[in-house]
Chain A
Amino acid sequence: MQIERTKGYKEILTWMENSGNKPFDFQKETWQKYNEGYSGIVNAPTGYGKTFSVFLAVVIQHLNKTSNKKEKHGLRLLWITPLRSLAKDIARAMQVVLADLNIDWKVAVRNGDTPVSERQRQQKQMPEILLTTPESLHLLLAQKNNSSYFEQLICVAVDEWHELIGSKRGVMTELAVSRLKGMRTGLSVWGISATIGNIHEALEVLIRGDMKKTLVFTKEKKKTNIISILPEEIETLPWAGHLGLKMANTLIPIIERSNTTLIFTNTRGQSEVWYQTLLNVYPDLAGAIALHHGSIDFELRNWIEDALHEGILKVVICTSSLDLGVDFKPVDTVIQIGSPKGVARFLQRAGRSGHSPYETSNIYFLPTHSLELVEGAALKAAEKRQLIESRVPMLMTFDVLIQYLVTLAVGDGFDDKIIFEEIKKTFAFSEINEDEWKWIMRFITVGGETLGAYEEFNKVVFEDGLWKVTNRKIAMNHRMNIGAIVGAVMIKVKFMGGGYIGMVEEYFASRLNPGDNFTLGGNILEYVMIKDMTVLVRKSKAKKAISPSWNGGRLPLSANLSAMLREKLSEAANGNSKDVELIKLKPLFDKQQRLSHLPKENELLIEKINTREGHHIFIYPFEGRLVHEVLASLVAYRLSRISPISFSIAMNDYGFELLSDQQINIDHENVRELLSGENLILDIQKSINASEMARRKFRDIAVIAGLIFQGFKGKKQSNKNIQSSAGIFFNVFEQFDKDSLLLRQAYDEVFYQQLEEPRLAAALERIKHSAIVIKEVFNAFTPLSFPIKVDSLRDTMTSESLETRIQKMKADMVRL
């Protein structure tokens, strides 16, 4: 049946026309396909009413019901969003529509911020539409009798699917959807996604099996205007973070010209610094500037979002906390500080301004060090060619599967045969075999491989034909740890006299001394003491203060942007660049050329620099830090095979450094071999085993699989006796249970995700056809090498004996 002929469609059309709107083609297409029983993905830029495409499809279906019988209340549409802040606005919009159309449906939000009383009310009587996060949905599955909540469910919508798909939260979503489909045959599943490189794969991941599926595209194209802010002078030894702040005053005219400006920084720490800096250079902003990031009090964030809607604020400095789809009408300008590292992210942030259809988005790019200007030029070119990144779905994440199974066991219990069939149908676990499944089941029921030694293990037990968790304490611990976002332990910051300010990492707090000043949420605070897992502070009059560091703020450069970067640098090397950014950078390029060499696209530059610190080798493939990390280990491993040697390894998005106390033998003779694609897989595996990459991956895995407990929102740790660290577990598994699937996952995560093996192979292939330029530089760092050298995040790789290394260190310690 044509949707236009239905009663429901006509009602919606009238309603839209009354407010001077009409449906977009993609909305109509979604309603039609939904009506025909399809599931699918809607792909549209923000501001075009993506929400209404899926939401109104369900409403039309409801309006088209012919029966006059009053329907039972209960959950019809489950709406999954990745960000809590999104839910509130969407719920508001839905409520307005339902009220206008006189539909007696309730809309409710359920996430970490929802009060317990409200959650209990929902459990007594589910609203017709529930907006939730993947974590809160899993928590719902951990409730007793949860299947009764879903008896009326007809549609699951996954909003911002592009944000979820490449992460473990995406796998959580896949698993939850598989369970809901298991409970409700005929369930429709719809994803809503911004443009990503692998949109067709995104459809295959979300909509599984023999369901009728479709992709709905918009014809509308968003226009984006990108402007780089150029520094007056170019520093020829670029150091991350320094340049941007000096240019703070250049933002003043932009802010003044605009209605409301959003300033995006890449880390929370940066946003704190910028808040202070802007207030210093432009004191008139006081009262009209706010700071929004994930560690700021929930109520304050709410207030800021409301104030943004109302246009009260002139400037808001934020992190990825405001990345996604909320539409703040007054926002007409966006400033990005530092490289966004990816085309998709940059365009998404640009889309925060001018989000009404047919409006142009304006985004300014302010580099934090001079080399980042090249990225500005690369971003423009990538936007022109619409080189949007893919988000690669995660596979075989056993940690998430273990957590999910325990979640089901804490809830109503599960039948392993039914669930195995369900998870085999998900994209993430379509390759799982019987042995792996059995291992997982043993892991949660008897605690591991060898029976007997584990007889006291207590977690998931078999009762009345189902696998269940019966121990209340284990159930409670599990509920508190549901989720796949593993962060550092955060603790609250409060004033002495009461009053919550925000959260900082425990690691940061542990290094503070009484009297130290730090900034948080735009306040300068004086540290007094830590009491009951809370940092107590008082207001400070100090002018200078340190800003908290939040780890994990570093994003790797995407493959697409890397390719553009190489092209732009090559243009600069050939002296035929027309980009203002590259012309501005000429002094830096000249210095690089004078001291060493500026590589063209078909060249690979290697620099050898000797200093008092040791012997440095810098190699510049320009492939992004993830690829460099693996490439660096690979080269270090191959070198260490020739003779015993130890390396310290550092990398950034442009290249990597190997540093040793010994001369590093790399020359035109052996360099081809060191960078060859031969025995690649085997050598990479060995180099991963020898490095610490897998150990770092294991941190998240240990938390997600329930081996260690995360501090729960600054709550006092009540599980002291069963608290250990991921590092200890990693050692213990390596020593006593080498076949653990969780260990294998840690290595696989490096291998498949970090390494992005096709990307590495492509890089090596490219290098194979490049001319290799080796330059020796004496007693100076080059513009390219300096930012890598000062990087403090380092890896190690060694083939020397423990004894030799210790002897050397002992000797060095005397000398140093």
Chain B
Amino acid sequence: MDGDLELVIRGEAITLSSKRALYWKREQALIIADVHLGKPAHFRQSGIPVPSGLLTADLDRLTKLIAQFQPRQLIVVGDMFHHQDYNIDITTFADWRNLFDGLKIILVQGNHDRLKPLQYLHMDIELYKPNLTIGPFQFVHEVKEGNEHFFSISGHIHPGVLLRGRAKQGMRLPCFAMNENQLVLPAFSLFTGLDTSYCIDECEFYAIAGEKVFKVK
């Protein structure tokens, strides 16, 4: 896609998609973070009315990504499921998952992922914890300590950037945050907030505005 951004990280071709995902060409892997499936339904069960279109919007975007990249595998770096309850949103997701039975789904467990092992099995999701290493990359939900041996790809933070311009202009956007040793993905779900105070050493931000990804130093 036009607005996407191509990078080379540790010799691997990587695409940053404006749909809040990352694509790793050699492994044909689509990588996303913080999907929080089941969050709207969990809110509704607790008596908080959340509009129904949220889940559909997230799943539609995922479907488009799959159509665009034709990945062999989907790697979720944590917080795929919001809550331990197997609620109606998860059923909807399970039905959606059945449409893509050729797609391998890998979940690197995050702090929110507390479904039962059988439930992951039922949805044909491979579970890894605390991390998964493929080639030069280590997939993990939250990077506790940096490690030079691997390049970490993680989530958890829901990073955002605050852009400032002349005449006191300002704008908050979701972003990828990256330095020499790690990359933090934006939260995939639209039902999430932004942390604009997040900063790692020597950090570069790749902000998402509409259908475009662009670098902010």
Map CB proximity to B onto A448-481 as digits: 1 under 8 Å, 0 otherwise: 1010011111110000000001010110011000
Tell me which residues across on chain A come within 8 A of B10, comparing CB atoms.
none
Does any Cβ of A come within 8 Å of B156's Cβ?
A: no
In contact, B171 and A806 (Cβ under 8 angstroms): yes
In contact, A456 and B45 (Cβ under 8 angstroms): yes
In contact, A809 and B171 (Cβ under 8 angstroms): yes
In contact, B193 and A725 (Cβ under 8 angstroms): yes
Q: How far is the CB of A309 from chain B (nearest CB, A)?
A: 45
> B52 touches which one: A448, A660, A707, A719 (CB < 8 A)?
A448
| Contacts from B to A (Cβ < 8 Å) | 41-54, 57, 82-83, 87-88, 163-171, 190-193, 207, 209-210, 212, 214, 216-217
Q: How far is the CB of A709 from chain B (nearest CB, A)?
A: 9
Q: How far is the CB of B120 from chain A (nearest CB, A)?
A: 19
Tell me which residues across on chain B come within 8 A of A805, comparing CB atoms.
165, 169, 171
14 A-B pairs with C-beta separation under 8 A: A454-B44, A456-B88, A457-B49, A613-B166, A646-B169, A659-B168, A661-B166, A722-B46, A732-B54, A732-B190, A733-B51, A802-B209, A809-B165, A810-B214
Q: Given contacts A721-B82, A809-B164, is CB(A456)–CB(B169) below 8 Å?
A: no
Tell me which residues across on chain A come within 8 A of B217, comparing CB atoms.
813
Tell me which residues across on chain A come within 8 A of B212, comparing CB atoms.
803
Q: Given contacts A721-B82, A796-B169, A809-B163, is CB(A457)–CB(B53) below 8 Å?
A: no
> B45 touches which one: A458, A659, A796 (CB < 8 A)?
A458
Bound Cα distance A731, B43 (Å):
16
Could you tell me which residues of chain A, from 703 to 756, have a CB within 8 Å of some CB in chain B? Answer: 706-707, 719, 721-722, 724-725, 727-728, 731-733, 735-737, 740
Tell me which residues across on chain B come within 8 A of A816, comparing CB atoms.
164, 166
Q: Given contacts A453-B52, A458-B44, A803-B212, is CB(A721)–CB(B83) below 8 Å?
A: yes
Tell me which residues across on chain A come within 8 A of B191, comparing CB atoms.
724, 728, 732
Known: A477-B46, A706-B47, A733-B51. 7 other contacts (CB 8 A): A457-B44, A614-B166, A732-B190, A794-B168, A803-B212, A806-B207, A813-B217
Of B42, B82, B167, most buried by chain A (CB within 10 Å of CB) is: B167
Quick one: closest B residue to A702, CB to CB? Answer: B48
In contact, A450 and B83 (Cβ under 8 angstroms): no
Tell me which residues across on chain B come within 8 A of A277, comparing CB atoms.
none
**Which 4 pairs show the lowest CB-CB distances between chains A and B?**
A614-B167, A453-B52, A459-B47, A809-B165
In contact, A803 and B163 (Cβ under 8 angstroms): no
In contact, A457 and B82 (Cβ under 8 angstroms): no
> A812 touches which one: B87, B166, B192, B209 (CB < 8 A)?
B166
In contact, A613 and B52 (Cβ under 8 angstroms): no
Does any Cβ of B come within 8 Å of A105's Cβ?
A: no
Bound Cα distance A183, B134 (Å):
70
> A732 touches which one: B42, B50, B166, B210 (CB < 8 A)?
B50
In contact, B171 and A615 (Cβ under 8 angstroms): no
| Contacts from A to B (Cβ < 8 Å) | 443, 447-448, 450, 453-459, 469, 471, 473-474, 477-478, 613-615, 646-648, 659-661, 706-707, 719, 721-722, 724-725, 727-728, 731-733, 735-737, 740, 794, 796, 802-803, 805-806, 808-810, 812-813, 816
Bound Cα distance A450, B51 (Å):
9
Tell me which residues across on chain B come within 8 A of A477, comparing CB atoms.
46-47
Bound Cα distance A733, B47 (Å):
16
In contact, A737 and B51 (Cβ under 8 angstroms): yes
Tell me which residues across on chain A come within 8 A of B163, comparing CB atoms.
806, 809-810, 813
> B193 touches which one: A646, A727, A808 (CB < 8 A)?
A727
Q: How far is the CB of B121 from chain A (nearest CB, A)?
A: 24
In contact, A661 and B167 (Cβ under 8 angstroms): yes
Tell me which residues across on chain B come within 8 A of A469, comparing CB atoms.
47
Q: How far is the CB of A656 from chain B (nearest CB, A)?
A: 14
Tell me which residues across on chain B come within 8 A of A456, comparing CB atoms.
41, 44-45, 87-88
> B168 touches which one: A443, A613, A706 (CB < 8 A)?
A613
Q: Given contacts A728-B193, A802-B209, A813-B163, is CB(A661)–CB(B169) below 8 Å?
A: yes
Tell me which residues across on chain B come within 8 A of A707, comparing CB atoms.
48-49
Bound Cα distance A456, B43 (Å):
10
Tell me which residues across on chain B come within 8 A of A478, comparing CB atoms.
47
Tell me which residues across on chain A come within 8 A of B88, comparing CB atoms.
455-456
Tell me which residues across on chain B come within 8 A of A809, comparing CB atoms.
163-165, 169, 171
Bound Cα distance A725, B43 (Å):
13
In contact, A448 and B164 (Cβ under 8 angstroms): no
Tell me which residues across on chain B come within 8 A of A646, comparing CB atoms.
167, 169
Quick one: closest A residue to B55, CB to CB? Answer: A453
Tell me which residues across on chain B come within 8 A of A740, comparing CB atoms.
51
> B167 touches which one: A473, A615, A813 (CB < 8 A)?
A615
